[in-house]
Structure 1
Amino acid sequence: MDRIDAMHAFVTVVNEGSFTRAAERLAMSPQLVSKYVSQLEQHLGVRLLNRTTRKIHLTEAGTRYQHLAQQVLNDIDNMENQLGDLQGQARGVLRISAPVSFAIHHMAPLLSEFQKVHPAVGIDLQLNDRKVDIVEEGFDIALRIGHLKSSSLIAKRIAPVRLVLCASPDYLKQHGTPERPEDLRNHRYLRYSYMELDANHPVYRWLQNTDRDKNTEMVSNNGDVLVAAAIAGAGIALQPTFISGSAIRQGKLQVVLPDHEPEPMGLYAVYAHRQLLASKVRSFIDFMEGFFGDPPYWDQFE
């Protein structure tokens, strides 16, 4: 048994959630993947997975081993990529976690151009608005939006993220255009459920005001849905311009209370601090810098 191959097979099964999908990713038969995992369990003398007809479940030993094995595989990948730097070419599969709406609107051109420059790098892009654990879930880079707090991770600011209040011209014609933050209490708010609001900001304070009827709100964990609802006249949305900018430029949405615009957030590339940073990671971070423009192209609607 090749222990590295068996370790790789086991980690892939856990990441993919099934032997069949792991076999497809590894370009081998499900029987061989299962054999590798069984041999690994026999070598370690513990059961790593409990198998049913539909799902696999990690045992306590499997959970601990998966975390350690992923670190070992990352270190091997980093070592090989570091040696590959001597030839000046990044290679390997780059695993990226990115916010859903940002990735749908803006990641495809970035990734396409990156692979033209670095053809030996494959891309595994996973979209999720939750805060992933980069190390435990095996990501090389996570793109995050917000005001980042200090952590053991390394964060590089890629672009500013501007937030604007916006509504359709028809909605504002029917319900009136707010001229002061306190006027927001009379309007329907299209609320993004992951938005962290600063109670000290006047706009945020009135959006959270308890005097407003919260039953009239529309709440969603997806910004695209809320922007589409705002275009349809459902209310006022507070959304980043990387989603709303196109509709504002086309006149489908109108910026509200521009003098009270919240402080911009940032788009960050976050990665684990390792002594040997893989060339594929370093190359991608360098490539992203300045790619979206300054200001970003999605803000060029004024």
Structure 2
Amino acid sequence: MDKLTQMRTFVTVVQTGSFTQAALSLSISSQLASKYVSALETALGVRLLARTTRRVHLTEAGERYLPKARHILDELTALEDELSGLQTHARGTLRISAPVSFAVSQMGKLITDFQAQHPAISVDLQLNDRKVNIVEEGFDVALRVGTLEDSSLIARKITPITMVICASPDYLSRYGEPMEWDELKQHRVLRYSYTTTEPRLIADNDGALVCNNGDFLTQSAVAGAGIVIQPSFIVEGAIRCNALKAILTHCAPPPLGLYALYAHRTLMTSKLRAFIDFISDYYGDPPYWEQGLYK
């Protein structure tokens, strides 16, 4: 029995959550799908899946085997695509990890336009602000906003992103508008808890507001809670409708970048290469949402 077929069936069962859905995806019977996975378990000498009447769960051995199996299948697909010149016929499921706020505000049209150009590619988009392990968690690519640390991953810079300091007109009328960076220490600055670039402008004292979601902090600033320092794609809507006013534009923090991170430079699958090529020119430099922001 073909070991790669068994491996592909196992990965599909995990992705779809059941033998029935995996069988539909692979165009085989559910009995055959179960037979393939059982044969794989027998060959490995371990149980990979714990089966119940409603769904399947990965065992500890399955958790360890899954990322390796995905990696092998991706390598095989990449090799086949390289040899047969299938770059113009990209297909398969592209698994993407992306930050929550950026994806919600800026990726809906991107994914729609991408799939219109590549209709054979399915997209599995997972939103999470933590730094996922691309290889171990089975992602093809991760989009990240920030400054990058040293990594074995390949990083493609997609577009620069301005950091904007802003507050509501009501807050500024009550507490005054700071003219220099040091004056922020006299104000209530709403802090993003995952930041690695913004200095701690206030201590965690009584009345402080810290959150791991930039949209929440932005809405708090609109309500007059304080000054917020957030990427342009989060605050641009509030600035354009005058709910927030950009301040200290002459001394804003250094810009961040939107990066696409992936594991291989040469043996890229056709679906990943198509996505990287597409997104590289999509947002522009500067990105379209920053155009006319400070008029």
TM-score greater than 0.5 by the shorter chain: yes
Could you say which residue in structure 2 is the equivalent of 1:220? 211
CA displacement at 1:5 relative to structure 2: 2.9
Deviates more, 1:180-189 or 1:8-17: 8-17
Quickly say closer, same or farther: Cα 1:254–1:62, change in 2 above 3 A. Answer: same
Q: What per-residue deviation string (whole Å, max 9, x for no partner) do you get for residues 40-64 of structure 1?
A: 21222222234567772422x3333
CA displacement at 1:33 relative to structure 2: 4.3
Could you say which residue in structure 2 is the equivalent of 1:10? 10
Could you say which residue in structure 2 is the equivalent of 1:231? 222
Asked if the contact 1:81–1:280 (Cα under 8 Å) also holds between the matched residues in 2, the reply is: no
CA displacement at 1:294 relative to structure 2: 2.2
Written as runs of structure 1 = structure 2, the 5 A alignment for 1:29-178 is 33-51=33-51, 56-59=57-60, 61-86=61-86, 88-178=88-178
Number of corresponding residues? 292
The 1-side partners of 2:220 and 2:34 are apart by: 48
Deviates more, 1:81-90 or 1:257-266: 81-90
Written as runs of structure 1 = structure 2, the 5 A alignment for 1:254-273 is 254-273=245-264
Q: What per-residue deviation string (whole Å, max 9, x for no partner) do you get for residues 81-128 of structure 1?
A: 334535732222211111111111111111111222222222111111
Deviates more, 1:185-194 or 1:141-150: 185-194
The 1-side partners of 2:222 and 2:49 are apart by: 49
Q: Name structure 1 gaps, 5 residues minimum.
A: 199-203
C-alpha RMSD over aligned residues: 2.5
Written as runs of structure 1 = structure 2, the 5 A alignment for 1:275-294 is 275-294=266-285
Asked if the contact 1:143–1:269 (Cα under 8 Å) also holds between the matched residues in 2, the reply is: yes
The 1-side partners of 2:176 and 2:289 are apart by: 27
Give the secondary-structure state (helix, strand or coil) at the position aligned to 1:165: strand
Asked if the contact 1:188–1:235 (Cα under 8 Å) also holds between the matched residues in 2, the reply is: yes
Amino acid at match of 1:45: G
The 2-side partners of 1:122 and 1:182 are apart by: 49
Asked if the contact 2:98–2:143 (Cα under 8 Å) also holds between the matched residues in 1, the reply is: yes
Quickly say closer, same or farther: Cα 1:148–1:173, change in 2 above 3 A. Answer: same
Quickly say closer, same or farther: Cα 1:40–1:149, change in 2 above 3 A. Answer: same
CA displacement at 1:16 relative to structure 2: 5.3
The 2-side partners of 1:130 and 1:146 are apart by: 12
The 1-side partners of 2:247 and 2:25 are apart by: 48
Give the secondary-structure state (helix, strand or coil) at the position aligned to 1:216: coil
Asked if the contact 2:90–2:274 (Cα under 8 Å) also holds between the matched residues in 1, the reply is: yes
Quickly say closer, same or farther: Cα 1:171–1:112, change in 2 above 3 A. Answer: same
The 1-side partners of 2:58 and 2:269 are apart by: 31
Q: TM-score, normalised by structure 1?
A: 0.86
Match of residue 296, structure 1, among 280, 283, 287:
287
Asked if the contact 2:114–2:278 (Cα under 8 Å) also holds between the matched residues in 1, the reply is: yes
The 2-side partners of 1:86 and 1:33 are apart by: 28
Amino acid at match of 1:289: S
Q: Name structure 2 gaps, 5 residues minimum.
A: none
The 2-side partners of 1:86 and 1:57 are apart by: 33
Q: TM-score, normalised by structure 2?
A: 0.88
The 2-side partners of 1:20 and 1:173 are apart by: 61
Give the secondary-structure state (helix, strand or coil) at the position aligned to 1:215: coil
Asked if the contact 1:84–1:91 (Cα under 8 Å) also holds between the matched residues in 2, the reply is: no
Deviates more, 1:214-223 or 1:78-87: 78-87
CA displacement at 1:19 relative to structure 2: 5.3
The 2-side partners of 1:39 and 1:11 are apart by: 14
Asked if the contact 1:81–1:91 (Cα under 8 Å) also holds between the matched residues in 2, the reply is: no
Give the secondary-structure state (helix, strand or coil) at the position aligned to 2:107: helix
Asked if the contact 2:81–2:87 (Cα under 8 Å) also holds between the matched residues in 1, the reply is: no
Quickly say closer, same or farther: Cα 1:83–1:90, change in 2 above 3 A. Answer: farther
Deviates more, 1:17-26 or 1:121-130: 17-26
Amino acid at match of 1:58: T
Asked if the contact 1:189–1:216 (Cα under 8 Å) also holds between the matched residues in 2, the reply is: no
Give the secondary-structure state (helix, strand or coil) at the position aligned to 1:97: strand
